[in-house]
Amino acid sequence: MVNGVAILDIAEQILKLSCYYFSCFLVIDLPYNLLCGGRLSTFLAMDGSKDGPLKEMPLGIDAATEEEYASQSRLLQEFTSMSSVDKAWVFKSDSGFGSQAMFSISQPNLLANKMKKFILSSHVSRGSNKSVSFQWTPFPVEMTGVSVIAPSPSGEKLLVARNPEKESPCRFEIWSQAQVEKEFHIPPSVHGPVYTDGWFQGISWNHDETRITYVAEEPSPSKPTFTSQGYNKCSSMDTDLGNWKGQGDWKEEWGETYAGAQQPELFVFNINSGEAEAVKGIDKSLSVGQVVWVPQVRGSNQYLVFVGWSEGTRKRGMKYCYNRPCALYAVKAPNFESEADGHELKDCSTEDPPLVNLTQSISTAFNPLFSPDGKFLLFLSAKCSVESGAHSATNSLHKIDWPMDGVLSSAAKITDVISVVMSAEDSCFPGLYCSSILSNPWLSDGRTMIISSIWCSCQVILSVNVLSGEVLRISPTNSSFSWSVLTLDGDNIIAVSSSPVDVPHIKYGYLVDKESKNAAWSWLNVASPTDECPEKVKSLLSSLRFSIMKIPIRDVSDSPTKGATNPIEAIFVSSKTKRNDALNPLIVFLHGGPHIVSLSSFSKSLAFLSSIGFSLLIVNYRGSLGFGEEALQSLPGKIGYQDLKDVLAAVDHVIDVGLASPSKVAVLGGSHGGFLTTHLIGQEPEKFVVAATRNPACNLALMVGTTDIPDWCYVEAYGSEGKNSFTEAPSAEHLTLFHRMSPISHVSKVKTPTLFLLGAQDIRLPISIGLQYSRALKEKGVPVKVIMFPHDNHAIDRPQSDFESFLNIGVWFKKYLS
């Protein structure tokens, strides 16, 4: 019997003899899936001439789109290569003149699929004529393998923490100006990686810079060990060829991005002895974060203040969700006794020290911060989120009078500094929208703090008087750019400013007249190496413009509150010139959440799409942050209806004023933006030529049983009463409503070719949701393309994944809109 390989060889010989007569016929009519192992396909692709075989096309790319794919990838690499300023610190100069600034910079490394981190330094000097000069070091320094850095308050020491890979020790380094002074290895039996997530994360030096408190993962729990003889009672952390580890009990995690992470715990590290010790007295049911030292009070114990989250019956997703109740707690720090060779941890007590809940009268408190004189403890609250169930909402700022005698009380009076704004008049303060504050936001008067906050479609810089509660917008009021404070240089501000068509630029702000009650701030441009971008990118961005449009809502009668009747905003990005009087195709971009916001800041990905010939309409529908609490709370219970109407009103507006063609409109959105994207192509099947979506919420009835935030489904479908209706076992009535409010209920009407980008590690919207919808479209014959990223979670933000996502979006849209 002749085997398959022999048959294939014979077939190739026959074909070679007859290729001159039959090759064209064979190429057309032989099915591709019969061209075994590439051997026949390589031969059949030959044209009988001297030319060699055509190359095999990569999966998902055809000859018609390959050149577009190559061209766009080259341009996208230009955008991707640009660095970003993440943080900054300022220190006093050794010379006594000016100051030293240190900037943390990141840059995607596509080959390594990681973010590179750099430190760039500058000497800052002020001139007598209100000018400022930054003298930059020639080159940045890469911080290879660094997880987090934390300068001491004096600026004389720097903590550099390097998290381990697998079961290796954490490395702590203490740097001085010229060298690494000390290096310590914290074994995994003490704790796991230091938290660097920006939420649980907290690192704080004490007043004399001998101790550091921080949040790290608790040690990995011991698991049952088995040998050839069965269970081994003498369990150890080690494994060898003679045993293996079981799984043990499963433990709840905090959902999206925290898969595999151990419980956050509080530690204190002694930089003299190198000892690290877990803080005692904290109940194991509390997850801790955002720790700070209490200012030193002579003759009293040292305390720590931290945020604690109780898991209740289960841990629901924490990422992007500020509706998780939390409180500020105070706990006694481990005792220290002075020794000749330094300070050593001493704690001889047999009982755990008492834990004091400082904020029992408010449902949520986070980001603790002491005033410079130690008289006030300030904190942010997301009480509107907790009380309504919305995953994010308008924040408030509060303070507690701190007891100078060191006697703590759980009955401390909480005073409002910035209250929740329900509905703002035009151009007035819309409320506080920030989730973090600088570790040192204080001007020299000790009562004015500088913060960044969302104001409609922009981010702005505010000054807040914590005694009077006065809030002033100090970034330029005539600017549509977004501004963010990086750090303070005494009473001056170092900030960054950008727009959808302007790369981030560093700005230096100062008060024109400090003595004047209504003193204005002046902002200077700072020439910086971070301003630089590739010439191609610079040229393309210079040909673009943007504006923020106010668009009246439809059916005001549907809105029971005043704030919900205000116009929505949309950011419109377009070319400065028309080519042959033709309008560029329009991409409607929809943010997720739904309670977040698209800002008028620079986005490399969206700027790339603008640069390849698309106009952008970035819609902030009602429910977005930055427009007052009434507008935000008008959306829960009306998703798929009210937000849909707002998007359609924005699209119709730009078409009516002649900025877009009704025959060349695409829609793009992820998460809740994907919910809207798939709703739009189902409810308005003739309006959108092409669509793309990332991890979309296509079916709430499927989502509620698989997501880490099932309460989201109830609140957004039922409104605030959904918070009380939530159950882990949805009724048939619940599931029916979820299905009715989902895009999957309109899938039979969809005609729009759709690209799906799915993260296989997504816990927020598991891939089964997007796959179900995409398969339903395929079943109907709708063109569908699915790209799966096996190692990405909800955000799909690993450098290679982000690059491939927007490259495919650009090529997909060009295919149907050219």
Q: Are 779 and 818 in contact (CB under 8 A)?
A: no
591 classed as catalytic: no
For residue 762, how many other CB atoms are within 10 A of its CB?
A: 24
- Which 3 state secondary structure label does DSSP give 25? helix
- Residues whose CB falls within 8 Å of the CB of residue 61, separated by 6 or more in sequence, listed in order: 69
**Do the beta carbons of residue 76 and residue 807 sit within 8 Å?**
yes
Any alpha helices (H) in 559-616, and if so which ranges? 604-611
Consecutive H or E run containing 496: strand 492-499
Greatest CA separation for the chain: 101
- 3 state SS of 418: strand
Residues 6+ apart with CB under 8 A from 697: 671, 672, 674, 675, 703, 742, 743, 765, 769
**What's the CA gap between 494 and 621, in Å, rounded?**
32
427: left (phi over 0), alpha (psi -120 to 50) or beta: left
The residue from 671, 774, 801, 805 that is catalytic is 671
Distance CA 684, CA 678 (A): 10
Secondary structure of residue 818 in the 3-state scheme: coil
Give the residue carrying structure tokens 């755990």: 352
Q: Is 671 noted as a catalytic residue in this protein?
A: yes
8 Å CB contact between 766 and 798: no
> What stretches of 663-806 adopt beta strand conformation (E)?
665-670, 690-694, 754-759, 784-789
Tell me the three state secondary structure of residue 793. coil
How far is it, in rounded angstroms, from Cα 381 to Cα 366? Answer: 6
State the pairing for strand pair 586-590/665-670. parallel
CB 139 within 8 A of CB 154: no
- Count CA within 13 A, CB hemisphere, residue 804: 19
Residue of 676, 718, 482, 651 lying closest to 591 (CA atoms): 676
- Name beta bridge partners: 357: 329
Rounded distance between C-alpha atoms, residue 705 and residue 682, angstroms: 24
Determine contact, residues 632/625, Cβ cutoff 8 Å: yes
Which residue type sits at 538?
K
Q: Write the single-letter amino acid at 472.
A: L
Q: d(Cα 703, Cα 695) in Å, to the nearest integer? A: 11
CA dist 482 and 505 (Å) reads 11
Catalytic, out of 794, 801, 802, 805: 794
Cβ distance 382 to 392 under 8 Å? Answer: yes
Strands (E), 406-533: 414-418, 448-455, 458-465, 471-473, 482-489, 492-499, 502-511, 521-525
Active-site residue 646, yes or no? Answer: no
Q: Which residues contact 603 (CB under 8 A, 6 or more apart)?
A: 500
Catalytic pick among 762, 774, 801, 805: 762
Check if the beta carbon of residue 115 is closer than 8 Å to that of residue 84.
no
Q: Which of 556, 798, 782, 568 is nearest to 688 (CA)?
A: 782
DSSP β-bridge partners for residue 286:
310
Closest to 655 in 3D by CA, of 727, 763, 583? 583
Catalytic residues: 671, 762, 794
